[in-house]
Amino acid sequence: MRSLPTRRIVAALAAGVLLTAMPAAAQVSYRLGGAVAAEFGVAVDGAIPVAAADLTVRLDGEVGAGFFPDAVFVAEAKARYDAAAPEPFGARLGRAYATVYLGPVDLTVGNQVVAWGSVDAVNPVDVLNPRDMTDPVADPADQRLPTPLVRATVHGQEGVTVDLVLVPVFVPSTLPGARWQGAAVMPDLPPGVTVVGVLDPVTAVPAFEVANMQFGGRVTLDLEVGGGADASVMAYRGFRHLPTVTAELEPTGVPGQFLLRPRLGYDRVTVLGTDFSVVLGSYVLRGEAAYTFSADPGGTDPAVGNDAFAAVLGAETNLAGGPFVTLQVAYQRTAPDAGKAPDESLTTVLAAKFEQGQRLGLDVAWLHDWLDGGGAVRPRLTYAFADGLTGTAGATVLYGPAGSMYGAWKDNSELRLGLEFAF
């Protein structure tokens, strides 16, 4: 849940942007909507991963008297009660921002989601927003969390668009739930040292100060290639949203016996990347690549994360009379600590979307890591009972050999049922 001071900052900045675009005789129109949803799940080991009710309230509005608005605003609040969670009730601010159209510049201030990149499974250049990793195998698009930021989008000549972002407040990603966390890994211990317990972790989150402001930019060029294309380059200076975990030994007062204290730190990084998309006949090709520079390129400091590289190439098409199909291949490599092997993965994601009339839909996704043999299969069925009323039934099947990430999660394979009414 976002703290009260941060909510006040977001509200004040968004209100200031709106006031700059609101002359005395401005017309304001708005729409109030939202959704009520319920979700229940059961895992193969008998656990109940979710038993939740959700409420989302959203206000959308426009300012201006012409055909095109001078400004738009969005305010969204979410509340959730999940009987299966350690803390059942939670409420948070969702998207809450205002956009003013100043000629070729769109200025947006507030709690936003800014999704950079072209692909939708592994996104190396999508680094601005933290993620809700409570369920690490959830749809990546649903994991993005809004965060306070200032965004200026400049629409230039000759198909050039410049996107500039300032993130004044660091918001970390939500860590995976206990069911997804493996056993604690013990550090190398000197002779005669015994660990007799594990203490609560200490988390060091970057403070709200000028030196810790994050910023980035992306330049996109529209190209007359094939049926249409675009290419982008980006740069980002900020922090990783997932922590680097280390551990320290604390004495107990008994010779040779120590307690283990995990420490979670968020590394400052610089990310340089590129992405593209191009239409070739009935196919769309997409790709991304990014290199993350850390403060420990040699891997000599275990408290600091290492450099990383990721690249993705994908294609999608609508088969005649059949499903919409997407295939993506992703390679990821994290540089090792000194004297150790790098962490690598080579993953394919194959997804198909079937639609039968206006009511019934089926999505199937298969992810497989070719280096460790693990993966996941996710079928999901949706049915529109009436206008605004949608039911879902989905499963997540996790597999893999011992020692693989998905293999370690096999007992978390689950079935979920949901019902949502949008108003």
Q: Which residues pair with 423 in a beta bridge?
A: none
Nearest CA to 216 among 199, 229, 233?
233
Confidence of residue 247 (pLDDT cuts 50, 70, 90): confident
Residue 339, number of CB atoms within 10 A of its CB: 7
Q: pTM to 2 decimals?
A: 0.88
What pLDDT does 13 receive?
59
What is the chain's mean pLDDT, rounded? 92
What pLDDT does 2 receive?
44
Cα(189)–Cα(186) distance, integer angstroms: 8
Residue 269, number of CB atoms within 10 A of its CB: 20
Residues 6+ apart with CB under 8 A from 168: 9, 148, 149, 150, 208, 213
pLDDT tens per residue across span 205-241 = 999 999 999 999 999 999 999 999 999 999 999 999 9
Q: What dihedral angle (degrees, nearest 10) is formed by the CA atoms of 349, 276, 268, 137?
A: -20
Is residue 219 within 8 Å of 230, Cβ to Cβ? no
pLDDT tens per residue across span 368-405 = 999 999 999 999 999 999 999 999 999 999 999 988 99
The values of phi and psi at residue 143, to 5°, are -90, -20
Confidence of residue 198 (pLDDT cuts 50, 70, 90): confident
Cα(110)–Cα(151) distance, integer angstroms: 9
Cα(170)–Cα(152) distance, integer angstroms: 19
Average pLDDT over residues 69-75: 96
User: Residue 388: left if φ>0, alpha if ψ -120 to 50, beta else—which one?
Assistant: left
Cα(408)–Cα(177) distance, integer angstroms: 14
- Mapping DSSP to helix (H, G, I), strand (E, B) and coil, where does residue 301 land? coil
Q: In which element (H, E) is residue 315 found?
A: strand 308-318
pLDDT tens per residue across span 117-169 = 999 888 999 999 999 999 999 988 899 999 999 999 999 999 999 999 999 99
Does the pLDDT at position 29 exceed 60? yes
Average pLDDT over residues 195-209: 91
Cα(369)–Cα(188) distance, integer angstroms: 29
Confidence of residue 320 (pLDDT cuts 50, 70, 90): confident
What pLDDT does 90 receive?
95
Confidence of residue 355 (pLDDT cuts 50, 70, 90): very high
What pLDDT does 183 receive?
62
| CA 419 to each of CA 144, 358, 423: distance values in angstroms, whole numbers, following the listed order | 22, 17, 13
Share of the chain above pLDDT 90, in %: 76
Q: Is 3 exposed, middle or buried (0-12, 13-18, 19+ CB in 10 A)?
A: exposed
Helix, strand, coil percent content, the chain, rounded in steps of 5:
10, 55, 35
Cα(310)–Cα(333) distance, integer angstroms: 6
Confidence of residue 293 (pLDDT cuts 50, 70, 90): very high
Q: Which residues pair with 130 in a beta bridge?
A: none
Q: Is 167 exposed, middle or buried (0-12, 13-18, 19+ CB in 10 A)?
A: buried
What pLDDT does 4 receive?
45
Confidence of residue 3 (pLDDT cuts 50, 70, 90): very low
Cα(99)–Cα(107) distance, integer angstroms: 5
Q: In which element (H, E) is residue 229 found?
A: strand 229-239
Average pLDDT over residues 10-24: 56
Say which range, 21-35, 40-54, 168-182, 400-414, has the weakest mean pLDDT.
Answer: 21-35
